[in-house]
Amino acid sequence: VSLQELLFEKQEEEKKPLKKKKQDDEKDNKDIDNGPKPRCRGIRLQNGCEITVSDGEGSVISTLGFLPTFLHLLPPDIRSAHGVLPGLPAVAERRPLMKILVGLRGTKEELDLTGADWYRLPNATLPRDELDPLTGGVKFGNIGVDDDDVEGSGGGETMETAEMTEIAEGGGGRGKRSKATTTTSTSSSSSTTIATKTPRRSKFTSGQSWMKVSFPSAKDPSWSDCHGSVSTCVVTIEADDDYVKMFDTKPKIYSIFNKGGGSAMVGDGTAGRLTDRVLKDLMETFPQLGDKMECIQLCGPFRSGLTQNPARFAIKGNRPETPYPGLFIGGADLTVADSFSGAIVGSWLAANAVMGYSYVDHLYLKKNITSDLEQFLEESYDVEEDLAVPFDSKECDDAMMKKNNEDGIAPTTTAESSKEE
């Protein structure tokens, strides 16, 4: 059952004397920023079930990200009355991601797979340097920037506008007609034409678009023991405009209107054509997978948090604590997006915020939840756990005996062996 909204305690409305309308309007923004906020007391699911925390002590931690929490889960009446995080309108949502799941026949040794992820970054190593014709010097350009693309690194789509004014004298002038959409307004003395360039659609381009390839089965040492001669591959790409649409709002957000779930048949419709282009790039990078594919599935789009731009790290609200008591934010939005380690660190920060630890505790007192847990952990364990790498006690005994021999320590004898002697 999916999540519907957050639950908040009801606040008692204070009776205030009537004031002038201008004074009320001037204090509206101050009340939203500095006024008392209701406490978050739980969540409500789509089936109507409510899960609440203990009164006055419990906390709700959202690892979905800033935008889903405050735009989708925060009730509209609470959002309009008390506002959102400081600086949230300045950020932008990253373009949603899609994943192609590929089942492979063979082990990681047979397919020569690695546990490291493979990335392709568009124009990451193509600096746009320019040569000055007068001095002969080289003017260094930006790395990873394509002036022809209308979509920036922040995932936003821009509209280029140009205003052209012509003096209408004797029927006007003659020139080239622009292919862009134009809007013309005329007057008795002049004619003004505003040309709007339609933004280029974002499509996955073979050999150029951003792509990530990972082999989860190669990262698990016990995978072959549990699943045999089978491997997995996950290819991650940015969703095309056929699946998502960006709205130039504050903050900039994406709307998902076409789900790509299900098995992707080669050449079957939009999903099939997209899968063909992705698999073509996959085969060029990993040619040993050509005849080893057993099944292919296209999933997504999935929301991927905030865009990695300076505004994301500069806003005041990018922290685990929120203006609403009892509500905390965790996950990769606090640290680095599209990172498993970043999500863990973000959740660790949220857990420390719930316990009330501040930067003074972290930096000066060296006190956090990790140091608290270390006080209760035992140094050794007698019970053998289910480890990813099988534990062999005989190998440990042999290694210990070898070390004792090198150090000149005589091996210990048992009571029974000494009695026999």
Span 308-320, pLDDT tens digits: 888 888 888 889 9
Q: What is the pLDDT of residues 318-361, one digit of tens each?
A: 899 999 999 999 988 888 877 888 889 999 999 999 999 988 88
Q: Would you say residue 57 has pLDDT above 90?
A: no
* Cα–Cα distance list, 320 to 69, 78, 154, 313 (Å): 13, 20, 23, 13
Rg over CA atoms, the chain: 30
Q: Which of 163, 237, 166, 238 is nearest to 196 (CA)?
A: 163
Contact (CB, 8 A) for 209 and 201: no
Say how far apart CA 144 and CA 121 lie, in whole Å. Answer: 8
- Tell me the pLDDT band of 2, cut-offs 50, 70 and 90: confident
- pLDDT for 143 equals 53
Please, what is the average pLDDT of the chain?
Answer: 76
Residues 98-114, mean pLDDT to the nearest whole number: 93
Residues 63-75, mean pLDDT to the nearest whole number: 90
Position 316: which residue type? K
- pLDDT for 97 equals 92
More confident residue, 235 or 164: 235
- What tokens does 59 get? 């906390």
Q: Which of 3-17, 162-176, 313-327 has the lowest mean pLDDT?
A: 162-176
- What tokens does 281 get? 């790039």
- Tell me the pLDDT band of 395, cut-offs 50, 70 and 90: low
- pLDDT for 188 equals 46
Per-residue HEC secondary structure of the chain comes to CCEEEEEECCCCCCCCCCCCHHHHHHHHHHHHHHCCCCCEEEEEECCCCEEECCCCCCCEEECCCHHHHHHHHCCHHHHHHHCCCCCHHHCEECCCEEEEEEEEECCHHHHCCCCCCEEECCCCCCCCCEECCCCCCEECCCCCCCCCCCECCCCCECCEEEEEEECCCCCCCCCCCCCCEEEEEECCCCEEEEEEECCCCCCCCCCCCCEEEECHHHHCCCHHHHHCCEEEEEEEEECCCCCEEEECCCCEEEEECCCCCCECCCCCHHHHHHHHHHHHHHHHHCHHHCCCEEEEEEEEEECCCECCCHHHHHCCCCCCECCCCCEEECCHHHCCCCCHHHHHHHHHHHHHHHHCCCHHHHHCCCCCHHHHHHCCCCCCCCCCCCCCCCCCHHHHHHHHHHHHHHHCCCCCCCHHHHHHC
- What tokens does 96 get? 């949603």
Q: What is the pLDDT of residues 142-153, one digit of tens each?
A: 554 444 443 444
Give the rounded percent of residues in the chain with a pLDDT score beyond 90.
28
- pLDDT for 199 equals 60
Q: Which of 100, 87, 7, 13 is nearest to 327 (CA)?
A: 7
- pLDDT for 308 equals 85
Q: Are strands 97-105 and 293-302 parallel, antiparallel or unpaired?
A: antiparallel
Q: Would you say residue 141 has pLDDT above 70?
A: no
- pTM to 2 decimals? 0.67
Q: Are strands 253-256 and 118-120 parallel, antiparallel or unpaired?
A: unpaired
- pLDDT for 42 equals 92
Q: Would you say residue 296 has pLDDT above 90?
A: yes
Q: Which of 247, 293, 301, 295 is nearest to 271 (CA)?
A: 301
Residues 293-302, mean pLDDT to the nearest whole number: 91
Say how far apart CA 246 and CA 67 lie, in whole Å. Answer: 14
| Cβ atoms within 10 Å of 370's Cβ, excluding its own | 11
Q: Would you say residue 197 has pLDDT above 80?
A: no
Q: Which of 16-25, 57-66, 261-270, 308-317 has the lowest mean pLDDT?
A: 16-25
More confident residue, 11 or 278: 278
More confident residue, 257 or 404: 257
Q: What is the pLDDT of residues 21-56, one digit of tens each?
A: 445 444 444 434 557 889 999 999 999 899 998 877
Say how far apart CA 287 and CA 280 lie, in whole Å. Answer: 10
More confident residue, 194 or 246: 246
Q: Which strands sit side by side in the sheet containing 160-166, from one edge to the other?
A: 160-166, 191-197, 181-186
